[in-house]
Amino acid sequence: MTDERSAAPQAGDDDLWGWAHDRDDAPPAQVEPEQVATVLVVHNGEGWLPRTLRALAALDQRPGWLVAVDAASTDGSRALLEQALEEGVVDDLLTGPSSGFGDAAAPALEVLADHHRWIWFLHDDLEPRPDALTALLRAAAAQSRPDLLFPKLLAPRRRNHPDLLLEIGQSISTGSRRVLSVEPGDIDQHQQEPTATLGGSTAGLLISRNAWESLEGFDPDLPLFRDAVDLGWRANDAGLTVVTVPEAALHHHQVGRWGDRESAVSDDLPLLDRLSGQRLLMARSPRPTLTALRLSVVSLLTALVMLLGKNLADARTAWRSAGAVLRDRKVVHRMRGRREAQPHGDESGTSDSVSGSAALRPGLWARLAFLVSAGAGAFTDRYREARDDSSGTSLDDLTGDDFTGGRTRARLLAPTTALLVALALLTLWAARSKLWAGSLTSPHLLPAPAGPRQAFAAWLEPAAGHPGPNAPWLGLAALGSWLTAGMPELLVRLVVLGAPLWAGLTFSSLARTLVRRRGSSSVRPDGWQVGLLSAAWGVLVAVLGLVSRGSVTAIAVAVVAPLAASALLRWFDQDRRDSTADLVQGEIWRAPGLLALWLALLGTAQPAFWLVALVVAVVHAVAARRFTGRTLVVGLLPALLSAPWWWRLAAQPARLLTAADPTAAVAAAQAPRPLALAAGRLGEGAPAAWASLAVFAVLWLAAAVVAAVDWRAGRRHGAALLGLALALIALGGWLGRQVVTVDGAPVRPLPDTWVVLAMFVLLTSVLLLVTRGRNAADRPGRDRTDPDRAERVRPDRDRPDRDRLGLLVAIVVSAAVVAGAVGWQLAANQGPLRLAESQLPAHVTSVQDSPRATRTLMVQVRPSGLTWNLTSADSPRWGTGEQHPAGGTPEWASTVQALVGQIAAATPAGDFAQQLSALGIGHVWVNRPTTEQLTALTNTQGLVAAPADRDTTVFTVSGLVSRARVLPEGQTDPVNLAAGSVDPGTTGRLVVAETPDPRWRVEVGGQRVTGAHQQVGATAFSVPLGGQSGTVSWATAPSTWAGVWEGAVLLVLLVLAAPTLGRQRLGRPTARHAGGD
Amino acid sequence: MRSKLLTLLVVLLSAVALLGAETSPVERPPAAGPAQAAPPGEAGCLILSQGQLMAPPDTTVTGLDTTVVQGGGQAFGVRAPVRLSIADAGSSRSATAALGSRTGLVWAECAAPVTQTMLQLPDPATSDIVLLNTDGTDAVVNLTLYGADGEVIESGARGLSVARRSSRVVPMSVLAPAGEPVGVAVRTSQGRIIATARLSARAGGLDQALGLEPAQRQVVAGVPAKVTRVSLLLTNPGAEPVTASISILGARGAFTPSGQESVELEPMSTRALDLTTAVNGEPAAVRVDANRGEIAASLHVRLGADAALIPASEPSTDALVHAPGGTLHLVNPSDDDITVEVAGQSLSVAAGALVTLPVRAGANRVTGGPVVAVLVSNRGLAARRVLQVRETESGAQVSNDPGLR
């Protein structure tokens, strides 16, 4: 080494650049390991202490003194320490109290030698890396002269898995939440830099002795948690340097935080943790009482959120802390006293250091960012869970250079994804003609309401003349319209036209669940078999003609059935497992909650699913030989969700057999034959017969093969599923042959739902065969990896044959799917589903939509007879198919039918127009009348004819008909309200052409009209006018209680079905007993 | 083993259930009901002199001021316009008001109000139009005049208001040129009316006739024997010229009048054709066939001091009239022989021929055919069409279709 200094020009007063040549010849400061006193605190750590001791023995630099303090352990920890002492792993063994970490470490700190300038605190569940101390000491020797150094804490090691970060330093939020500088669970990529920090964990803390003594150690009122945060905070306030050292890594089991250790300090460690954080804040708050109140409120809110998240433990902790924080005054007072006695800032008394501490705590933006990040993270986590993606890796894992473990295969595009994308394209192409303006309707699909307000009105405003609230599926539709930006029509299009895609997606979810459950090595969750069968289900939905028929309830069944089946499988699974270690807290309710949720949603439209839920619950109880609250959840909650609807169903019991809006379609004279149903021929809307036959014949054949193969292998699943499918077809066929009466209207219960379920069962049986693959289930005997075997079975010698058979079945199904897809596309524009505008001319619909709110009588004359319907701005639409389609009651229907009879006979009565006016009918639309009928109507008093087109004439009823009329006092003939409003000074009664019902609420000029309702025949009611004037409006009183009930039960179901909130344990759970590895 | 049997049982039962469903009967929805019984028919009668109204059973007769006219059985004494409410709506066109006066006999047909109709007048100077409004709301009427030389534009023919439950006389002499026949299309822009063409005494005798529907073939019957004059009024309301072929239907069959085989009708014009010579004093009827479009036709007949204005009528298969006794003219305008039943008698009417039959006063029903029937008085000259009884119970099925929207 040359003497650079002698070669350099001498620095003098005249040399302005002399400073550049000055060199500090003092050697760089170094902290020798001999200066480090390591204090290992042990308390009942028998389960993890051996690993810790091994790690200490492997340190590349041994500290000058390593003392273990046994804090009154009652297990085998003492013996382990004594052995370690003998082996020289530890230098000394002391005994300490179990009243907290600081108290336990005190005996060791009292006997420190003078040369021990640094203190290194270790936990008994902490495994330092060999270079941990070296890195800490290197950092301690840095130019910044740090006083407190917090290393990087990692999750416990897992073989063939990357290291996961736990924390590198800590801060604290205004709500006493731990604020970490890293995202727990992230892979350690060694990208962190040392930085200032407020504090951290005592695990691995390296502190200079000077700092320790000046700060007087840990606060005794923080015995276990947040003590190092407090220490670091005080250090920062005192102007000391507190930094993180990411290069120094230690694996921490966090047994104290997870409650794996029995502690003498507290029997509720999470509560103590939370309380410690709150004390920390109150001790430093200028207004501790206010802070205590605020923290109490935050705790209450946290308790509520955790309760909703089914995390009862954390909810209980938060709840208890809400009260405890208000009773902590003495402790806080003591802590404040200690703090005030501490030095703050430098000797000049400035508060730069205090403001420096404040800068190390999260600000407003950081808190907001946390909320957003937590929400987004929770969403993506739940999305991954919903996709059944059990991968524990992150994007970093996929892009990292390191081998992250597990078999990987480079893929441009997973087969499942490719097939589902193809399905999406087919779905879009098939729907291309129905993407334009108009209203999507079919005989089974009524037009959507104009907007969300109308959608909610359809749900909450009960139909006049009918008891109880409306069907609850209307509430789901209304809520769904919110999701589509307040456009119910968009919701309908997405649900109906996108049905094949949604069905394919949910089926793929079920398939992945099955693949993972079976642990098949030859079938991947994203493999072509899964993709093929998923696409097959989507194509099946289309080939059944569900989209072309607009059979919404059946579409819902097709989409939801795989989800329900997945939940059912998981429910059966979790009750058969030996260990529910990962099903803590609310997780055990998830599967039954999901199942109950799906069945409840289906039951809102088709009450038969209540019975399905009950049957499933009973079957589970018998099979699992247990009857728990979860059985009741599945068996009863689906029906309870729709409980307000029972009132209406009691009056219309036939509705129990039908799907949503049953009266939307006239009961057909013929019914499809059950054997035709088995071939997927539901009726109009089905594609060509060859397509149906190609798909469903193959499906039945494949299911029969599955049944035979399973039977031969000693399983009964295939045969049972085949029998179930036959039974469902029989049920659908029989129901379809019946005619029931719903509110006086003849209706055929559609077989669609049962046929869909039957086909789902068949495809699922094929799925079971295809996904069986090669796995450990081939070993004879009881095997946990194949949970569907509950008894010893013979060795499967036919494994290779079954694999080939599964492959053959998959290939044949592929061909059928292709044929079905072709048939689907060819028939995409056929069927009754159409995008239709109203047949009525604009001048009619404008009057309907005006405050006059008139109705229109539509009559169509055909050689076979006359058909008619009564329309208005709010009918037909969602929900009007739940009661008589003509006017809403049979009385309306018979009244209007009599009028149409007069048209048919070309003998309208002299008061024909008055009769129409009394019903609020402002127009009569007649298509293809005979000459006689046309002449008779033209010559009818009070009707003005106007041709609409070559075949249609629209007759306007004279007198500006309005649905609401005024009957002035002393007069006998009501007067129409030309503008739909009452003039000032009008007295008398307001007559409204609606079915009489005491629930009607009438408003005039925004004021509610009180006074007794009087019935005016079966088609109108009247209320007294009390001098109000203005626009008239009326509606039935909303069934708010029904909405509240259904919303509450739905919320309960969602909470049960949702993942449990709260911290997730990272790394391998630590065994409580020795030898756990 | 037990589970095997159970599974097998499930499969078998399901298969049986499927077969059972396949063979179970299909329940049919209830059949749509036929149209219900018609409400009472309505009609109005223009009564301009004293006389007797003969109406179907269960008819309520009220004056325009809603006063119920008392009458016994099916006969009512009337002297002013009346409204009829007829229980049997199908026979609402069968009532007849027999009105006598110094200047002749008038048999007034009662009919339901309409919103449009066509009238024909032989000479505006000697005839006028009476508009009768039997409804409770005002009516507004527009007249379109078709003269000898085409449409007659006259401002006074538009927007004629007829108050509720009242009548209004529209003198044609101020609207159309005298001496030439005129056809009048009557249309309401508001309400309904009963429009009647009325002959004054200067027209050869008092008479009145209701409106008629233009058609491509018109048959006008009711020319009695020994008439003084027969004039055929033809109106072409269309925008294209029409050639009308004329045939006389008599007791010995149809024949074409010499020199009057056809007549050209200009658009929107009316012509009168003298058929006195062609008829030659025999009972007759006139058949007019247009080569295209539709035409209106009626006969202005004079017999001594009396006259009658007889509009065309459609062949019927079941016609009914309540009227005084007279002679029933039965005309077969088709090319096939027909058989009709009247008053218990069965008559054969050869193709294109006319048969007359005396009948008594009261209800006379003509079935069979189809045949054109007109009742002509035995004394004086009054004629009244015997019109088809309308079907009031349609056999058509009427059902609700929720898909109609």
Give bridge partners of residue B181 from the DSSP assignment: none
For A219: left if phi > 0, alpha if psi spans -120 to 50, otherwise beta; the answer is beta
Name, in order, each residue with C-beta under 8 angstroms of B380's C-beta and a sequence gap of 6 or more: B104, B105, B303, B304, B306
Q: Give the gap in angstroms from C-alpha B296 to the nearest C-alpha of chain A.
A: 17
| Contact flag A669-B401 (C-beta cutoff 8 Å) | no
Confidence band for B355, pLDDT divided at 50, 70 and 90:
very high
CA-CA distance, B206 to B302, in Å (whole number)? 10
A674 contact B CB<8A: yes
* Residue (of B310, B292, B144) closest to B222 by Cα position: B310
The type of residue at A716 is R
CA-CA distance, B154 to A935, in Å (whole number)? 28
Count of helix runs (H) and strand runs (E) in chain B: 2, 35
Taking a C-beta distance cutoff of 8 angstroms, is the pair B38, B393 a contact?
Answer: yes
Q: Which residues of B touch A762 (CB under 8 A)?
A: none
| Contact flag B400-A867 (C-beta cutoff 8 Å) | yes
* Residue (of A899, A839, A829) closest to A871 by Cα position: A839
Q: Which residues of A touch B26 (CB under 8 A)?
A: 670-671, 737
Beta strands in B211-250 (DSSP E): 217-223, 229-236, 242-250
CA-CA distance, A310 to A288, in Å (whole number)? 32
SS (H, E, C) B325-389: CEEEEEECCCCCCEEEEECCEEEEECCCCEEEEEECCEEEEEEEEEEEEEEECCCCCCEEEEEEC
Q: Give the gap in angstroms from C-alpha B16 to the nearest C-alpha of chain A.
A: 9
CA-CA distance, A665 to A885, in Å (whole number)? 9
Taking only residues 547 to 586 of chain A, the set having a beta carbon closer than 8 angstroms to any beta carbon of chain B reads none
Q: Give the model's pLDDT for residue A626.
A: 81
A210 contact B CB<8A: no
Q: Which residues of B touch A909 (CB under 8 A)?
A: 39-40
Taking a C-beta distance cutoff of 8 angstroms, is the pair B150, B269 a contact?
Answer: yes
* Residue (of B94, B78, B127) closest to B270 by Cα position: B127
Taking only residues 840 to 869 of chain A, the set having a beta carbon closer than 8 angstroms to any beta carbon of chain B reads 858, 860-861, 864-869
The answer, yes or no, to whether the previous bond of A876 is cis (omega within 30 of 0) is yes
Name, in order, each residue with C-beta under 8 angstroms of A510's C-beta and a sequence gap of 6 or more: A562, A563, A565, A566, A569, A764, A767
pLDDT surpassing 70 at residue B241: yes
Copy the structure tokens of residue A515.
Answer: 């693949």
| Contact flag A941-B135 (C-beta cutoff 8 Å) | yes
CA-CA distance, A640 to A599, in Å (whole number)? 11
Task: Tell me the CA end-to-end span of chain B in Å, nearest whole number.
Answer: 59
Q: Give the model's pLDDT for residue A404.
A: 47
The type of residue at B188 is T
* Residue (of A266, A295, A265) closest to A280 by Cα position: A295
DSSP string spanning A530-570? HHHHHHHHHHHHHHTTHHHHT-HHHHHHHHHHHHHHHHHHH
Q: Give the model's pLDDT for residue A584.
A: 57
Q: Give the model's pLDDT for residue B87.
A: 82
Per CATH, domain A35-265+346-367 is 3.90.550.10: yes
Beta strands in A356-447 (DSSP E): 439-441
Q: Give the model's pLDDT for residue B359.
A: 93
Copy the structure tokens of residue A746.
Answer: 């003849």
Average of per-residue pLDDT values in chain B = 88
Q: Which residues of B touch A665 (CB under 8 A)?
A: 402-403
Sign, CA dihedral A450-A456-A459-A465, equals negative
Tracing tokens 């400061």 back to the chain, one arrives at: A29
Length of chain A: 1077
Copy the structure tokens of residue B345.
Answer: 């008698």
Q: Where are the domains of chain A?
A: 35-265+346-367, 266-343, 838-957
More confident residue, A57 or B200: A57
Q: Give the model's pLDDT for residue A384.
A: 58
Give bridge partners of residue B108 from the DSSP assignment: B97
State pLDDT tens for residues A568-612. 998 988 876 644 455 555 788 889 999 999 999 999 999 999 999
Cα A933 to Cα A908, A943, A1039, B112, distances in angstroms: 9, 13, 44, 15
Alpha helices in A178-311 (DSSP H): 209-215, 227-237, 255-258, 269-284, 288-308
| Contact flag A909-B22 (C-beta cutoff 8 Å) | no
Q: Give the model's pLDDT for residue A393.
A: 46
Q: Give the model's pLDDT for residue A118.
A: 95
Taking only residues 879 to 898 of chain A, the set having a beta carbon closer than 8 angstroms to any beta carbon of chain B reads 881, 885-886, 893, 897-898
SS (H, E, C) A953-997: EEEEECCCCCCEEEECCCCCCCEECCCCEECCCCCEEEEECCCCC
| Contact flag B26-A737 (C-beta cutoff 8 Å) | yes
| Contact flag B405-A858 (C-beta cutoff 8 Å) | yes
Q: Give the model's pLDDT for residue A776.
A: 42
Q: Where are the domains of chain B?
A: 41-388
SS (H, E, C) A234-270: HHHHCCCCEEEEEEEEEEECCHHHHCCCCCCCCCCHH
SS (H, E, C) A796-851: CCCHHHHHHHHHHHHHHHHHHHHHHHHHHHHCCCCCCCEEECCCCCHHHHHHHHCC
CA-CA distance, A291 to A547, in Å (whole number)? 59
Q: Give the gap in angstroms from C-alpha A983 to the nearest C-alpha of chain B.
A: 24
Q: Give the model's pLDDT for residue A192.
A: 86
| Contact flag A867-B191 (C-beta cutoff 8 Å) | no
**Three-state secondary-structure class, residue B5:** helix
CA angle A469, A474, A475 (to 5 degrees): 85
Q: Determine which of A398-412, B238-252, B295-309, B389-403 has the lowest per-residue pLDDT on average.
A: A398-412
Q: Which of A444, A681, A726 best tests the B interface by mutation, with the highest count of B CBs <10 A?
A: A726
CA-CA distance, A234 to A251, in Å (whole number)? 26
| Contact flag A727-B17 (C-beta cutoff 8 Å) | yes
Cα B312 to Cα B107, B191, B217, B232, B297, distances in angstroms: 15, 25, 10, 10, 6
Task: Point out the residues of chain A with pLDDT beneath 70.
Answer: 1-15, 18-29, 258-260, 262, 343-355, 367, 371, 374-413, 519-522, 576-585, 773-803, 1062-1077
| CB neighbour class for B168 (10 Å; exposed up to 12, middle 13-18, buried from 19) | middle
